[in-house]
Structures are given as C-alpha cells and as structure tokens.
Chains A and B, each alone.
Chain A
Amino acid sequence: MKPPHIVIIGNGVSANRASEVLRENDPDVRITLISREFFLFYFRHKLPAFITGSIDEDSLIVHDLHFYMDRNIRLRLGQTVQKIDLENKTLFLSHMEMVHYDKLLICSGGQSHIPEIYYPFRSFFTTLKKLSDARDIRKKLPLINRIVIVGGDLTSLRLADALIRSGREVSFILDDFAFWPIESGPDIRHALETALKKVGATVISGDPLERIERISDGDPPEYAVYTRKGQQLRAQMVGAFFGFKPDVDFLIRSGLDIDRGILVDDRLQTTYPDVFAAGDCAQVYAPHLNNYWVSIGWKNAIMLGEIAAANMSGSEQPVSMPVEQRIRFSDLQLKTPWWHAL
C-alpha cells in the first residue's frame, strides 16, 4: 500500500517548516508542496532591499532544490489550487489537474489588504507581497522619482526607508486603517509620523486619501492623489500598504469555516479532521484575549507550521500565544507578538 499523501498548499515559511517537521516525524509519508508562485522559498522581508537593487535575487532564497531532494519532498511551483472537494479529499488545480490528499495543510499566507473605501482605486495601487510584485517594482523604478504611499503598515516603513536611501521622494498619507484589522489610532499615528519624517519622508497625517486620478498613461504613468482636505500630490507610483489579510478567497464556499481567516481550533485543525491550517491564513481563538486572532508574521508562521505538522503526525500540541517583542523603526518602537524584527 502506498504511504499516505500529505499535501501542503503554500511554499512560504510555515509550509516549509511544516514539511521539515513532517519528514522528521515520518520518513515514509509522501509530502507535496504546491505553490502558486514560480519561485523557490524566499525571505519576504528582504524584498524592499531587492527592489532598490542592494541585493540580488539569489540572496532572497531560503532553500535551494537540494533541501527538497534530500528530504524527498515534492515541490510543485507555479500551480494554483482553485478549489477543494473536502468530501473526496481532492484538490483542483487551475490547469485542470486533480490531486488527491490523505491529509491537507493549508499555508496559503496573506494577501495585501485594500480597505473597502479605497476599493475603486485598486487598479492604480502598487502592492508588495510577492517576489513577482517586487520584480515589477524593481523594473519600473529607474524611471520613477516620486512615490506616494497610502496606509503605513510595517512593510511600507522598510520600503520607504530603502526608497529614500536610493534617492526617491516618498510621501506618506497615513491612514487609520493601516494595521488591519486593528485601527492604529492617534498615538501610533503620531509616533509613525515622527519616525517617517526622520528618515526623510513627507508625511500627511489626519487627512486621508480621497481619490486618485491617472492623468497620463506614459511610461511611467502620472497620478494625481487628492486628500479629503484638498491637498494634491503628484506621483509616478502609488503604493497601498494596509497590512495583510488571509489569502483564503479560493476557499470560500468550500465547506471550510472561514471568518477573516480559516477557523481552526487550538490544535490548528479545521472542522474537517484531516485538514489543518497554519501561518498567516489561520484564525485561532485565544482564550486569554477572549477573542479570535489572525497572526501575520514570520516567526509566528514558523511556530504554527511546526505545531500543525506535529499534530498531523499524531501529537496533541496546543498553540500558545507568542511572546510580545519590540520592533524598532527609527525612533518608533512598537510591541507586537506577531511581527518580528528580521
């Protein structure tokens, strides 16, 4: 009889860590990682440095192919899972292939969040989540001098710093929606403002985005960005940085329980016994918060990947809330249990 097939959706940090643990626990199971992206597993936090050219693509890579060969893990890149038939334990890939699993771990990560009020301008926004986004920005960058960033999440701070160092003018329109799903409020906004000004950005605070117009289609295009109080900025690129939200759209109506993310119990199991979720896409109930939480962050994704893998191999390990850590950006210090200084 063939050994059971464990399929992991995703090739990010939680998926990779989980595959490693699964292999340590059982030398025989068949393990397959499926990822929509064409690239090997890479460090997402290094993307800003890659964009401005201070590092090349090779330095982004975490594991090369030997990692998978040595562990007998099958890696399928550039393949998108389109839907799941939970009753028949089958995944449907977008190129019309069906893949059977015995156990499934979903590590589909996060996607850039655009608040509903700005939804009409989504086609004007540049976002940064994947290497393909970064490649795109890096390609356009030589022609670009003026950049407006709307939002102000943790990713955008690092990007702004890198862009300013490379000689670009960066203006921020700070927004209360930046730390989705938490509103940042005036104190954090004020601290952010000071920190950003210190690295050389122009900052508009307390005057949110009203609308964006594309005023020329040239290369690069030109945008006019208006705030509610009537300020007008010109830019060749408008970045939207409002944090990440779970990338679970492909699971809606699959039968899995989806709220903001995939609802899992404290063993990271979904309502289907052989289906688990870990990393940025999972939503867990935390008794000490008396609320559900979705964690977005690298180390936390590692921890969840490990726990899910252990539980898929038969343990009964509950998740615990990660310890709060300080992260610094210029003079700004934030405490978060999820996002870590990398």
Chain B
Amino acid sequence: MNKYIPPDGWSTHSRDLNYIRTNIPCQWACPAFTNIPGYIEAVFHGDFDRAYLINRRSNLFPGVLGRICTRPCESACRHGESDLGQPVSICHIKRIAADNTSDDHLILEQLFSPSGKTVGIVGAGPAGLAAAHSLALFGHRVTVYESFEMPGGMLYYGIPAFRLPRAVISEEVFNALRQGIELRTGVTLGKDIYLPDLMAKHDAVILAAGCQDARSLNVPGEDLPGVISGLDFMMQVNRGHRDCVGRRVMVIGGGFTAVDCSRSARRLGAEEVYIAIRGVEEDLTVPVDEIRDMYREGIRFVSLVSALSIDGVDHVSGIRFVRNRFGGIRGSGGRCILPIEGSEFSMDIDTVIAAIGQVPQSGLSEWSEQSVSYNPDSGRSSVPGLYGAGDYIRKASTVIEAIGNGRRVAENVDEDLMRRRRRLQVVSIESTGNTHRERTWDFIERHDMPTIDFDDRLRNQDAEVETGYSIQTGTEAASRCYLCNLKYEIHIPECIYCRWCIDVCPRNCIDLTETLNEDLPAPVHSGSVTAQWSRTAGVVIDSDRCIRCGECYRVCPMQCIHVTRVELQDHCVSREIP
C-alpha cells in the first residue's frame, strides 16, 4: 500500500494545487494569493527583507496593504475558527515587515528580455500600476496615462493620510515604476487623448480608470449647499482643503468612503458626526479595528434608517429619515430592508456627505459607437487588444482585489501578445523534518494594534493613527500562525497503529479509516472513517482541521509522520515546464 507523497520539487498537479485551496485558507482568500505563512515565518525569524519580498511578489505594495487592506485573509484564517480564538493578525504582521526592512535591502525582480511590444494603460491606481509593473517585467514598453497630478489613484485621493501616510505610497509607487514605465500625469482619456489613437499607438490598451462617479441619493434637497458626495469630500480633504464641513455632520453610507469621511470630518472640526446606515453594523465592509477607532473618535451610528429628504432653505439644516426593519432574505441572497410605517423622524444637521458608492465613468470605452463588454476576471473585452482592470470592470472593490486583478490581466495581455503563458502558478514541495512550532504558541492571544491618543488625532489631522507593532510584539504575533503550509502526513507502511498520535491530537483530526482514497483531488488522502479496529486500513490526518501543532509528530514512536512545506509560487518560464 503505497501512497502519494510528492517528491520535493515543483508540481502543477491538481492535487497539489487543491491542497493550497483547502489547506491554506488565508492564501486562497487573498485576491492576490499572497504566500502568507511564508512571510509570517520570515517575520518570526526576524528576516524582514525576505518577508517584504515574499509579499511584494504578489501584492506589490506591502507597506500600503499592511495598513489599509480589508483583510479577507483574516476572515478565512484557521486560527479564527470558532473554537480556536482570533485570527492571526496577518495584516499587522505584513506592516511590520514593510516598516523594518533594512536600509540596503534588495528588491529582486524576475525580468524578461525586451519583447518589442508596447502597452498603454489608462489610470495609475492600484490596478493600473500592478498591471504596468507586471507588463514591464514581461519585457513590454509600458506607458501609463493618468488624469490626476499624482499616481496612486484612490490610495492617494481617496484614503486619508491618517490611515495611509503619503510617504509610504510614494516610495512603493516609485519602486513599481522603476522598470522603465513611462508615467504621463495630467492626461485624461476622452479629453486629451482618445481611445482609437491609443489603440493605434499600442499593441494593447488596458483601461484601469476606477469608479469615480458618485451614486446619488435621489432624495429631495440633494442639491442644497452643504450636501457633498463622499468621494468629492475625500478628494478635497486629500488635496489639503480644510474648511469643507460644518459642526453637525451626517454621513450616509456604510463602506470605506463613509467611514473615512466621518473620521476626516471629525478631524476638520465637526463636533457631532453620525453615520447613517440602512442596515446594521455587521454589514459594514470595514475591518472591526476601524469601527472601534470610529467609536473612540466619538462617531455614532444611526442604524436601520433610510434618508427621505434633506431639508433647508438656502443651506442644509436637517435630514428626515424613516426607520427600517428587515423583512427576511431576498431571492438574491441579501436581506430585504423595509421601511416601518409611521416611523419618520428628523435630525438637525448642517452637512450631509453622501457616500453610498461609486460607479465607473460612462462612455470611456466606447469603441466605433459600440459599447464594449469586459470579462471581469480575465480583463479581456469584446474588442481585441482592449482590456480592462480593477474597479473599472469589477465595480468598486478593494485595493488588494484591484492589484490581484491587475496582475492577472497583465498575464493575459502577455499571453495574447506572446502567444504563450509565461508566468504560472506552481506548488513547491519541500520536506522540513521539523514542526517549526511549539504547542504553547497556540495559546497566545491576538495583539491589539497600538494607536495614538485621541487628542493627538485631532491636533494633527494627518498623524497616522495606528503606530504599528513593535518588533517584539510582531514576532510574538507571527508565532501564533499555525503555518498551514506545513502538511502533516502519516506514512502508512511504517505505521504500527499504536494510536498514540490520536490520543495526543488536540483537534481530534486523526482518524482510523477503512479505505484510502488516493486519487481524489484531495489534499492528502482521505477515506471513510471507521471505529472498528478490525476494518482499519490506515490512520490519516484531516488536514482541514489540523492546526499543525506538532504533537503527533513528537509522540510517534515510528517517526512515520512526515512534515512537508507546500507553497504556491509564481514561476516565470520562457518555455513550458518540462
């Protein structure tokens, strides 16, 4: 009875790719597939340069994302399963790597030779920059056209400096542009340049123009002075305007823009700031730390309300709401929100910031009078040579989604230009002969992010609120990670069925099985569990529940439990992998 133990090396076998999906939940949840356990282990060993590089390979802006990422990985983290405590602070650990790289650390890039092709990209936001960087590495000549004066898109013009210092953006954006990318700022598609000219000039064109048209509230009074859209407000704040709010501010909406508007308004001197949401706090798309910060800054939620009208004569003086109730689940999955009859009420306010979402600018990609459709994953469009990336084709999303998508679109552009795939996802496999962890680390609690005092936030409105983990805290936080990229397997021919491992396993995830299914696209093998000793064919570990604590490995008298490190990597190839 031999089993599948992949040899050390590279694999593109679906079984190994599948292992990553089911067993490294954080990496799979990251839209850019960042090798999270890989960099966390490097941080644990104090190798911040390496940790930074591992990050940058997938997500290009580790210092930026270590501050403002929405952290879909943390919601998926195994440590956060309901009986295991809190997720690993993946994002804060990313930041500590970025903040502590050595002065002379090397940024290594995998550079193809020049291809002779040129690509034009419209928009220097995260998606456009990620695509530009990847395409430059592929050897193409890239020009980025950007209408604003600074690159960075919403990193620069949306997200406020107290969450993301401008120096962090400029350093990482500069590093992304260093491969000979030509950046032309102050150039607007549809005004200074036109799509047909761009298409004629370049072998491929990517539109990564983001979502910049604000959705309107559609209520009476929306045009009164004192009402402003969330995005316009943040752009004004980020351009240095400081006199754009009154004293009692009502922000409407439940996304990042709304939260940033409320916190900025507070810093600009508003005494009372409310956020009105149609549903409840649980629906907000911002990380819980930030909600806590909002509360600390004295911002209040008014939940379960919809705006009916904005009142005032020549300026906003109040807003009228109706209270809502939930009315069950809609066919499409979301919850029905219904007004409660007779529950209207008013609040006195002098500023309304409407932050209920943004949509892509219309008309940008009209092509020979036909409208163009895009595949939101591949970025390919109905017009050969024209692609889209980021929020422009995927609706308002997040920075990491924009970066992940920008990179994937770049790979597709490269494939179409070069007629073969030159960057592949492969799985690297390496036996470790060690658990790399101690059981006691599983009981360490998640560490809070330290922040500056409330008064300092108001005194210097650009002062970064979160100050970052100390190296000691970061190392401890890193030790909490189970290193799900370690795969525990029992080599059945050597096992004597003593069941010691079963006795010590804290997760109850080692089973006796009747059968061994070896060919399923399953991680290791699985089988039908049995309690009957006489029918046992093997002892197997359920990797999905395993927390890589190493107890079984340490106790096994036959040393037949193997630990291998399995990692998803980008592999650049000039020819097919043999």
B342-365: CB near A (< 8 Å → 1, else 0) gives 110100000000000000000000
**Nearest CB of chain B from residue A179's CB, rounded to whole Å:** 15
A314 contacts B by Cβ under 8 Å: no
Interface of B is mostly: mixed
Stretch of A52-60, A100-108, A130-138, A283-291 at the chain-chain interface: A283-291
Closest chain B residue, CB of each to CB of A289: B343
Residues of B within 8 A of A115 (CB): 295
Stretch of B18-26, B261-269, B321-329, B526-534 at the chain-chain interface: B321-329
Evaluate contact between A117 and B454: CB separation under 8 angstroms.
yes
Residues of A within 8 A of B83 (CB): 82, 94
B508 contacts A by Cβ under 8 Å: yes
B74-85: CB near A (< 8 Å → 1, else 0) gives 000000001100
Q: A82-B82, A94-B83, A271-B329 are in contact. Are A257 and B343 (CB under 8 A)?
A: no
A263 contacts B by Cβ under 8 Å: yes
**Nearest CB of chain B from residue A252's CB, rounded to whole Å:** 6
Q: A115-B295, A119-B448, A120-B448 are in contact. Are A259 and B340 (CB under 8 A)?
A: no
Q: A96-B508, A117-B295, A259-B304 are in contact. Are A290 and B280 (CB under 8 A)?
A: no
A39 contacts B by Cβ under 8 Å: no
B301-327: CB near A (< 8 Å → 1, else 0) gives 001100000000000000000010111
B282 contacts A by Cβ under 8 Å: yes
Residues of B within 8 A of A250 (CB): 82
Q: A82-B83, A94-B83, A271-B329 are in contact. Are A290 and B292 (CB under 8 A)?
A: no
Cβ contact of B325, chosen from A92, A258, A263, A290, cutoff 8 A: A263
Closest chain B residue, CB of each to CB of A253: B282
Q: A119-B448, A290-B323 are in contact. Are A259 and B303 (CB under 8 A)?
A: yes
Evaluate contact between A116 and B340: CB separation under 8 angstroms.
no
Residues of B within 8 A of A253 (CB): 282
B551 contacts A by Cβ under 8 Å: no
Evaluate contact between A271 and B326: CB separation under 8 angstroms.
yes
Residues of B within 8 A of A119 (CB): 292, 296, 448
Evaluate contact between A263 and B326: CB separation under 8 angstroms.
yes
Residues of A within 8 A of B293 (CB): 116
CA–CA, A97 and B325, complex, Å: 34
Evaluate contact between B329 and A259: CB separation under 8 angstroms.
no
Closest chain A residue, CB of each to CB of B294: A116
CA–CA, A333 and B280, complex, Å: 34
Evaluate contact between B303 and A116: CB separation under 8 angstroms.
no
B215 contacts A by Cβ under 8 Å: no
Evaluate contact between B323 and A291: CB separation under 8 angstroms.
yes
Residues of B within 8 A of A287 (CB): 342-343
Closest chain A residue, CB of each to CB of B277: A259
Evaluate contact between B340 and A285: CB separation under 8 angstroms.
yes
CA–CA, A94 and B342, complex, Å: 43
Evaluate contact between A290 and B282: CB separation under 8 angstroms.
no
A292 contacts B by Cβ under 8 Å: yes
Closest chain A residue, CB of each to CB of B75: A253
Q: A117-B454, A120-B448, A263-B325 are in contact. Are A258 and B280 (CB under 8 A)?
A: yes
CA–CA, A258 and B83, complex, Å: 21
Evaluate contact between B280 and A259: CB separation under 8 angstroms.
yes
A75-102: CB near B (< 8 Å → 1, else 0) gives 0000000110000000010101000000
CA–CA, A118 and B330, complex, Å: 39
Evaluate contact between A257 and B326: CB separation under 8 angstroms.
yes
Within A108-166, which residues are at the interface with B (CB < 8 Å)? Answer: 115-117, 119-120
Evaluate contact between A116 and B295: CB separation under 8 angstroms.
yes
B203 contacts A by Cβ under 8 Å: no
Closest chain A residue, CB of each to CB of B295: A116
**Nearest CB of chain A from residue B288's CB, rounded to whole Å:** 10
Within B70-108, which residues are at the interface with A (CB < 8 Å)? Answer: 82-83
**Nearest CB of chain B from residue A95's CB, rounded to whole Å:** 9
**Nearest CB of chain A from residue B66's CB, rounded to whole Å:** 20
B335 contacts A by Cβ under 8 Å: yes
**Nearest CB of chain A from residue B304's CB, rounded to whole Å:** 6
A246-261: CB near B (< 8 Å → 1, else 0) gives 0000101101011100
CA–CA, A113 and B451, complex, Å: 21
CA–CA, A291 and B508, complex, Å: 47
B266-290: CB near A (< 8 Å → 1, else 0) gives 0000000000000011100000000
Residues of A within 8 A of B340 (CB): 285
CA–CA, A250 and B83, complex, Å: 11
Residues of A within 8 A of B303 (CB): 259
Within B200-255, which residues are at the interface with A (CB < 8 Å)? Answer: none
CA–CA, A83 and B82, complex, Å: 8
Cβ contact of B345, chosen from A96, A120, A290, A292, cutoff 8 A: A290
CA–CA, A96 and B325, complex, Å: 34
Cβ contact of A257, chosen from B335, B448, B454, cutoff 8 A: B335
Residues of A within 8 A of B345 (CB): 290
CA–CA, A259 and B278, complex, Å: 11
Q: A116-B295, A120-B448 are in contact. Are A285 and B325 (CB under 8 A)?
A: yes
Residues of A within 8 A of B323 (CB): 285, 290-292
**Nearest CB of chain B from residue A151's CB, rounded to whole Å:** 16
CA–CA, A287 and B323, complex, Å: 11
**Nearest CB of chain A from residue B422's CB, rounded to whole Å:** 41
Evaluate contact between A252 and B329: CB separation under 8 angstroms.
no
**Nearest CB of chain B from residue A140's CB, rounded to whole Å:** 22
**Nearest CB of chain B from residue A230's CB, rounded to whole Å:** 13
Cβ contact of A258, chosen from B282, B292, B342, B451, cutoff 8 A: B282
Residues of B within 8 A of A92 (CB): 82
CA–CA, A209 and B554, complex, Å: 49
**Nearest CB of chain B from residue A265's CB, rounded to whole Å:** 8
**Nearest CB of chain A from residue B25's CB, rounded to whole Å:** 16
Within A278-315, which residues are at the interface with B (CB < 8 Å)? Answer: 285, 287, 290-292
Residues of A within 8 A of B327 (CB): 271
**Nearest CB of chain B from residue A49's CB, rounded to whole Å:** 33
Evaluate contact between B508 and A116: CB separation under 8 angstroms.
no
CA–CA, A255 and B327, complex, Å: 12
CA–CA, A290 and B341, complex, Å: 10
**Nearest CB of chain B from residue A185's CB, rounded to whole Å:** 15
Residues of A within 8 A of B451 (CB): 120
Of listed A250, A259, A290, A291, residue having the most chain B CB within 10 A: A259
Closest chain A residue, CB of each to CB of B303: A259
Cβ contact of B296, chosen from A117, A255, A271, A292, cutoff 8 A: A117
25 of the cross-chain contacts (CB-CB < 8 Å) are: A82-B83, A94-B83, A96-B508, A115-B295, A116-B293, A117-B295, A117-B454, A119-B296, A120-B448, A120-B450, A255-B329, A257-B326, A258-B280, A259-B280, A259-B281, A259-B304, A263-B325, A271-B327, A271-B329, A285-B325, A285-B340, A285-B343, A290-B342, A292-B304, A292-B323
Which B residues contact A (CB, under 8 angstroms)?
82-83, 280-282, 292-293, 295-296, 303-304, 323, 325-329, 335, 340, 342-343, 345, 448, 450-451, 454, 508
Closest 10 A/B residue pairs (Cβ): A116-B295, A259-B280, A257-B326, A116-B292, A117-B296, A82-B82, A271-B328, A116-B296, A259-B303, A290-B343
Name 7 extra pairs, CB < 8 A, besides A116-B293, A117-B296, A285-B323: A83-B82, A119-B448, A258-B280, A263-B280, A263-B325, A263-B326, A285-B340
